């Protein structure tokens, strides 16, 4: 029994050695002598049966001992009979003089039986020497930076950008100085008929346009808001056009307007704000109620006939 076990172990050992022997890995460079900071091309070549899966080394830390990896090429693959040949060029360098040994690198692979195995590359010696310095000569001071003449074309796009920026600045100030002053200032023209007559006529015209029925809710509420605000200015001499809805609520709170009609006015103006600025689409019954609220507010707050006669006589 013991003899059979030894034979079995020996067979497994020979099988493992055979699988490892089928895979080879070599490191080779175009030279083994460089000066400090110079680059050296180090080529890694791995040959293996096509049935094997190579786990390419990661070279953690981008170093091979004290040799630094500056750059890596892509892994090239080619075929050589029944084997695959993988190659990668590592550009390496060293920044201190001395003789450095790149120790054998482990290459792991999965053999045909999907068992993990490994082989090692050869070691490689890199001799790094410093620059030769003639100590017999005196030490010279560091040379000043060289003066390089500049060409105009190097600054062409900077000049173009500067001119464009300057033109924009000048144009902005000219616009502020001349165009803005010459803008026609449109003042609100007070209607000749009584304020409530004007407002009711405008509301009627708006109603006939059927704006909200044609999905023009923003325009509908913009106009109904302007009519009501203009009416407030004509009727009570308050700056309603420049005021927010909350400010209008405070302004009319001290006027002789019933609480019900104050609420109906503010409800309509708030709904108009939502439709104009929050892009809200009110429901049909809300659209009709807004028109009813506007008309009711104007009717409720219109001047009495005696008050109008007194103002006309004055």
- Total Cβ atoms within 10 A of residue 295: 16
Task: List Cα–Cα distances, 34 to 26, 61, 88, 102, 211, in angstroms.
Answer: 20, 22, 20, 14, 86
Q: Clarify whether residues 214 and 114 are in a common domain.
A: no
**Residue 251 placed within a domain:** yes
Q: What is the pLDDT of residue 269?
A: 94
For residue range 119-153, list pLDDT tens digits in order.
999 988 989 888 766 667 777 777 777 777 777 77
**Domain final residue, candidates 129, 163, 183:** 129
Helix or strand (DSSP H, E) at 84: strand 83-93
According to DSSP, the residues that pair with 175 across neighbouring strands are none
Q: What is the pLDDT of residue 159?
A: 87
**Residue 240 placed within a domain:** yes
**Residue 161 placed within a domain:** no
Q: Cα–Cα–Cα angle for 89, 91, 95, nearest 5°?
A: 155
Instruction: For 38, list phi and psi in degrees, rounded to 5.
Output: -70, 160
**Residue 257 placed within a domain:** yes
Q: What is the pLDDT of residue 11?
A: 44
Q: What is the pLDDT of residue 207?
A: 93
* Residue 45: exposure state from Cβ atoms within 10 A (0-12, 13-18, ≥19): middle
Six token digits for residue 174: 């000219």
Dist. CA 35–CA 95, nearest whole Å: 9
As a whole number, mean pLDDT of residues 202-223 equals: 94
Using a pLDDT cut of 70, give the percent of the chain over it.
Answer: 85
Residue 237 maps to which CATH number? Answer: 1.20.120
Instruction: Examine the pLDDT at 186 and tell me if it is beyond 70.
Output: no
**Residue 38 placed within a domain:** yes
Residue 66 maps to which CATH number? Answer: 2.60.40.740
**Domain final residue, candidates 129, 163, 181:** 129
Q: Which domain holds residue 123?
A: 21-129
For residue range 12-70, list pLDDT tens digits in order.
444 444 445 589 999 898 888 888 888 989 899 999 898 888 888 887 777 887 888 98
**Residue 314 placed within a domain:** no
**Domain final residue, candidates 101, 129, 157:** 129
- Total Cβ atoms within 10 A of residue 139: 6
3-state secondary structure of 299: helix
**Residue 2 placed within a domain:** no
Q: Clarify whether residues 39 and 119 are in a common domain.
A: yes
Q: Clarify whether residues 109 and 200 are in a common domain.
A: no
Task: List Cα–Cα distances, 168 to 157, 162, 163, 173, in angstroms.
Answer: 17, 10, 9, 9
Domain total in the chain: 2
At 285, the pLDDT band (50, 70, 90 cuts) reads very high
């Amino acid at each position: 029994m013991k003899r059979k076990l030894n034979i079995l172990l020996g067979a497994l050992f020979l099988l493992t050695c055979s699988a490892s022997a089928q895979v080879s890995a070599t490191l080779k460079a175009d030279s083994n002598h460089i000066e400090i900071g110079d680059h050296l091309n180090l080529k890694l070549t791995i040959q293996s049966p096509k049935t094997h899966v190579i786990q390419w080394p990661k070279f953690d830390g981008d170093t091979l001992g004290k040799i630094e990896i500056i750059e890596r090429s892509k892994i090239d693959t080619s075929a050589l009979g029944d084997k695959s040949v993988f190659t990668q060029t590592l550009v390496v360098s060293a920044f201190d003089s001395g003789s450095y040994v790149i120790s054998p690198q482990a290459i792991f692979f999965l053999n045909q039986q999907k068992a993990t195995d490994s082989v090692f590359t050869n070691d490689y010696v890199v001799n790094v020497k410093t620059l030769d310095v003639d100590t017999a000569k005196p030490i010279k001071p560091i040379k000043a930076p060289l003066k390089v003449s500049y060409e105009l074309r190097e600054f062409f796009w900077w000049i173009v950008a500067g001119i464009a920026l300057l033109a924009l600045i000048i144009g902005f100030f000219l616009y502020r100085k001349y165009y803005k002053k010459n803008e026609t200032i449109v003042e609100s023209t007070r209607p000749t008929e009584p304020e409530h007559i004007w407002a009711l006529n405008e509301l009627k015209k708006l109603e006939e346009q059927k704006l909200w029925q044609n999905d023009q809710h923003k325009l509908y509420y913009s106009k109904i808001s302007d009519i009501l605000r203009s009416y407030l200015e004509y009727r009570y001499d308050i700056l309603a056009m420049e005021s927010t809805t909350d400010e209008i609520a405070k302004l009319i709170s001290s006027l002789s307007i019933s609480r019900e009609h104050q609420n109906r006015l503010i409800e309509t103006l708030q709904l108009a704000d939502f439709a104009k600025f929050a892009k809200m689409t009110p429901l049909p019954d809300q659209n009709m109620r807004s028109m009813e609220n506007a008309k009711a507010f104007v009717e409720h707050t219109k001047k009495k006939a005696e008050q109008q006669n007194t103002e006309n006589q004055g």
